[in-house]
Amino acid sequence: MPGHGRPEGARTRLIRVDPERIDEGALGEAAEAIRRGGLVAFPTETVYGLGADATNPRALAGIFEAKGRPRDNPLIVHVPGEEWLPGVASEVPPAARRLIDRFWPGPLTLVLRAARLPAEVTAGLPTVAVRCPAHPVALRLIELSGVPIAAPSANASGRPSPTSAEHVIEDLWGLVDVIVDSGETLYGLESTIIDVTRDPPVLLRPGAVPVEDLEGALGSRVVVGDAARGLADSEVALSPGMKYRHYAPRKPLVLVESDDYSGEGYLEGVASVARSLAADGRRVIVMASDEHVGFYRAAGLEALALGPRSNPFAVARRLFAALRSLDGSPADAAVVEGFEERGLGLAIMNRLRKASGRAVVRVRGPRSRLYRAPAPRPRAAAGHDAPRGRDARGHRRARAPGRRARALRGDGGGGCRGMGRVRPVAMTIAGSDSGGGAGIAADLKTFAAAGVHGTLAITSVTAQNTVAVTGIYDLPPEAVRRQILAVHEDMGIDAAKTGMLSSAPIVRAVAEVASQLGLTLVVDPVMVSKSGAALLREDAVEALARELVPRAKVVTPNAPEAERLTGIRVRDLAGARAAAEHIVEQLGAEAAVVKGGHLGGPESVDVLYHAGRHVELRSPRIESRTTHGTGCSFSAAIAAGLARGMGIEDSVDFAKRLVTDAIRYGLELGAGHGPVNPSSWVDVPAERFRALQDVRLALRVLVENEFFVSRVVPESSMNVAAALPAPYASGPGDVAAIAGGIGRFGRRLVARGEVEFGAAEQLAAALLGVSERFPEVRGAAIVASGEEVSRAMESLGFRALPSGGRGAALGRRDLGIAVSEALRGESAPPDAVVDGGGPGLEPLTIVFGRSAVEAASKVAAIGKAIAGAGTPSTDRGRGASGSEGHPSGAPGLFPRTSNV
């Protein structure tokens, strides 16, 4: 079979091996090829390697030939365990011991004094690079071969390392004997190489193990030179491989570096480099972090997402595939964003600097400076230091126009509604609601959620709650007038809305000031409260129709109010259309929306009549009792839209969406119609962000304690999750977790994917099962079950409940039910629920906390208790995790009751 070196299409065999269930027969054939002196490309957890018998000079020569690799570049020897070291290295210093204990098997290569090995392996150096990979297929292949395997990455020399068998096929088909395909590699970056023959040890190549972790394990510094950062070629003797161009796509690639990768100046700098590269008609693509692709696309550039900046692991994993994809894409050149040189960022930057052939542009602050670029010099951003009074984008820094000027103009500042101001100003002219659900209260919440500054003129004070209105106390019309004037004179009013106006004199006072000041007005003709009380006296209805409606930009009646105003029957869509048209054409408003909330049917349809045409706005009808304040919120949101300079249709559409959410997430308070929740418009995105952050932090807690936590990783993978708070959590889509969970490689933990909502259905169901009963519980982690875990929890004083049992027939999805059943009769949340599993179901423990971080801290405490380290029970309240101020897994986190 071998005859290596002669490219023959028929030579290569592709073998698929599932790492979870290794087919020994198939892998045995690959091992046989190694033993006979052949070449085998095989997966490791970093990248695919091209392996040959490290003791066979002829086989080794084949590697250099197949890859086109310079012969002075030595190879890494792969062993299945440290027991094999004596045959490879002549000496293992204490620092190497420590690193082996901590990181093997795993993506760490040690440079040691060499034993007697063929010169092809060491390139004649006195040292040898050795690594013990963590990939089960790699380990088994070496064992079956019975010899150490020397293997560089399985790419044609100079190209990006292969992270899938497809990449190997691209580069080496026909040049090697066997390609073992086990899917994509985990890290996507090569191993970290450290030279431990020197003191202090020297980092030769940053890789999948961050140098900070090495220093942590060694308890001392590691030397990181310019070569390791990819800034300079290393001396030949140090690490021969580092002097060649590496990882390079075939097309020009420019790297844009900066001290601040999130500043606007940086984004603009990258865009300007891309544009200058494109100047001579080249098609240019920007390779950017997920957070930034939107910016480049909005700037009219093509962009490729590399993964989130917040998750360098994900970026590293995709990096080589992205570099390769450039060659197959229609782009002629690429610009790639840089990353902070911390953690995996150091390795990412090393690869990017090399891949670009060190074609680097550096962007500082708002201006860009070049120190070496193959491309034409990009135009420096105009105005290096933003002139005073301008923000980073060069926009005028907003300041309200002078009060005197505005008072003289007497136009309410409405000329350019809200634009160019720190915050547009909106006003509500309405009654108060002591229950905080409707009126002024609803309006101010809506203004805040809609991003405008809310001001108010109270017309009436009402005593009311979700059930009834028990008192109405009108203010004198003069009091209403003065409130409006006071605000107008000082800060201007970009748009106002009226709600409950109560009496004809108040209606008249408001109409008068409104026309005097030229207010942009939304009129919500409030007549009856949700609880049925009349809020507008009879005589006021006519004043409203005759004096205020004609001055309104938008009028927003519900069906009964539209009937009262127009005399038209509004029982269906046709009636609503006719009434809306009547309010505009006959009563003189600029636009009218007749709200369909009262009309029934599966949808809630609002009809807008404006500029001679009807527009229907539809939303699914939400069955809800929490509708107190709906109409107020709706008209306030329209006023906010207008204040921000939006057109009528856009403002109404925005209001419809905001109110639909406000009802969906209404607050079940009081015995009647609970208040709507306009804050949900900003709460939901904010809480989603917080949940993602919580899980990311929790992951850090777990990883920082991985030495202990690795003891409790279940076979089916660990995960940690955070749920949105009530009333925003209703299903697994409202729970953030790590996609694919957290895997274990030896003592190392690795997140398999990104932090996402809906990523862990089982765990989400369990968490929601608890947080429904105990809303303070917002975080959970899933770990292994067993004697050790139970004993550890007991020693920590954790309260663990047995689950209701999942049972084989129920399947895994029902962990939620199992957990809910465990809570029956409980009056305080448990620290954990232990599920015994069943036929085909692994026993699992779900640990709960008020946040994902707290749950993770408890997991760390459990791991430590098992290891007998840190004795968390004696560290009570002081931080048992022992690392950078993370909350500890100290027990007693939930108040406990005695009736357990």
Annotated catalytic residues are 595, 627, 629-632
- Given candidates 12, 55, 182, 239, which one binds ligand TXA under the rule CB under 6 A? 239
Distance CA 183, CA 43 (A): 8
> At its nearest, how many Å lie between ligand TXA and the CB of residue 144?
17
Q: Are 556 and 595 in contact, with CB atoms under 8 Å apart?
A: yes
Choose the contact partner of 49 out of Mg ion, ligand TXA, none; CB within 5 to 8 A by kind.
ligand TXA
Which residue number, 122 or 558, has a Cβ lying nearer to ligand TXA? Answer: 122
Choose the contact partner of 258 out of ligand TXA, Mg ion, none; CB within 5 to 8 A by kind.
none
Choose the contact partner of 193 out of Mg ion, ligand TXA, none; CB within 5 to 8 A by kind.
ligand TXA
- Determine if 153 is a binding residue for ligand TXA (CB under 6 A): yes
Site for ligand TXA in 90-129 (CB under 6 A): 107, 109, 111, 122, 125, 127-129
Distance CA 682, CA 50 (A): 53
- Residues with Cβ < 8 Å from 101, sequence gap 6 or more? none
Query: CA quadruple 449, 754, 889, 769: dihedral positive or negative?
Result: positive
- Given candidates 80, 160, 240, 249, which one binds ligand TXA under the rule CB under 6 A? 240
Collapse the DSSP code of 304 into the 3-class scheme (helix H, G, I; strand E, B; otherwise coil) and give the result: strand
Alpha helix positions (H), 586-679: 630-643, 648-664
> At its nearest, how many Å lie between Mg ion and the CB of residue 360?
21
User: Near Mg ion by CB under 5 A, which window of 136-144, 153-161, 447-455, 714-722?
Assistant: 153-161
DSSP character for 546? Answer: I
Three state DSSP letters for 224-259: ECHHHHCCCCCCCCCCHHHHCCCCCCCCCEEEEEEC
Q: Are 303 and 286 in contact, with CB atoms under 8 Å apart?
A: yes
Q: Are 441 and 649 in contact, with CB atoms under 8 Å apart?
A: no
> At its nearest, how many Å lie between Mg ion and the CB of residue 320?
10
User: Near Mg ion by CB under 5 A, which window of 145-153, 215-223, 563-571, 638-646?
Assistant: 145-153
> At its nearest, how many Å lie between ligand TXA and the CB of residue 419?
55
Which residue number, 138 or 271, has a Cβ lying nearer to ligand TXA? Answer: 138
Beta-carbon neighbour count of residue 32 at 10 Å? 16
- Given candidates 99, 139, 142, 151, which one binds ligand TXA under the rule CB under 6 A? 151
DSSP element (H, E) containing 496? strand 495-498
Which residue number, 75 or 663, has a Cβ lying nearer to ligand TXA? Answer: 75
Distance CA 272, CA 261 (A): 15
Of 400, 398, 412, 399, nearest in space to 489 by CA: 412
Choose the contact partner of 437 out of ligand TXA, Mg ion, none; CB within 5 to 8 A by kind.
none
Choose the contact partner of 128 out of ligand TXA, Mg ion, none; CB within 5 to 8 A by kind.
ligand TXA
Q: Are 88 and 148 in contact, with CB atoms under 8 Å apart?
A: yes
User: Near Mg ion by CB under 5 A, which window of 150-158, 223-231, 650-658, 709-717?
Assistant: 150-158
> At its nearest, how many Å lie between ligand TXA and the CB of residue 790?
39
Query: CA quadruple 224, 230, 232, 236: dihedral positive or negative?
Result: positive
> At its nearest, how many Å lie between ligand TXA and the CB of residue 773?
48
Of 423, 550, 421, 427, nearest in space to 496 by CA: 427
Site string for Mg ion, 348-387 (x = CB under 5 A): ----------------------------------------
Site for ligand TXA in 180-219 (CB under 6 A): 190-191, 193, 204-205
DSSP 810-844: H-GGGHHHHHHHHTTT-SS--SEEEE--BTTB--E
**For the chain, how far is it from start to end, CA to CA, in angstroms?**
70
User: Near Mg ion by CB under 5 A, which window of 148-156, 600-608, 751-759, 859-867?
Assistant: 148-156
CB nearest Mg ion: which residue? 153
- Determine if 153 is a binding residue for Mg ion (CB under 5 A): yes
> At its nearest, how many Å lie between ligand TXA and the CB of residue 56?
17
> At its nearest, how many Å lie between ligand TXA and the CB of residue 117?
10
Starting from the edge strand earliest in sequence, which strands make up the sheet with 284-288, in order? 302-305, 284-288, 333-337, 253-258, 360-364, 367-372
Which residue number, 153 or 503, has a Cβ lying nearer to Mg ion? Answer: 153
Which residue number, 112 or 129, has a Cβ lying nearer to Mg ion? Answer: 129
Which residue number, 131 or 351, has a Cβ lying nearer to ligand TXA? Answer: 131
Place of tokens 């190879």: 75
- 853: its two tokens: 């971080």
Place of tokens 């006003």: 427
Q: What type of residue sits at position 863? A: G
Which residue number, 241 or 312, has a Cβ lying nearer to ligand TXA? Answer: 241
- Determine if 469 is a binding residue for ligand TXA (CB under 6 A): no
Distance CA 263, CA 298 (A): 17
Give me the residues that bind Mg ion (CB under 5 A), please: 153
Give me the residues that bind ligand TXA (CB under 6 A), please: 44, 46-47, 49, 73-76, 107, 109, 111, 122, 125, 127-129, 131, 151-153, 190-191, 193, 204-205, 239-242
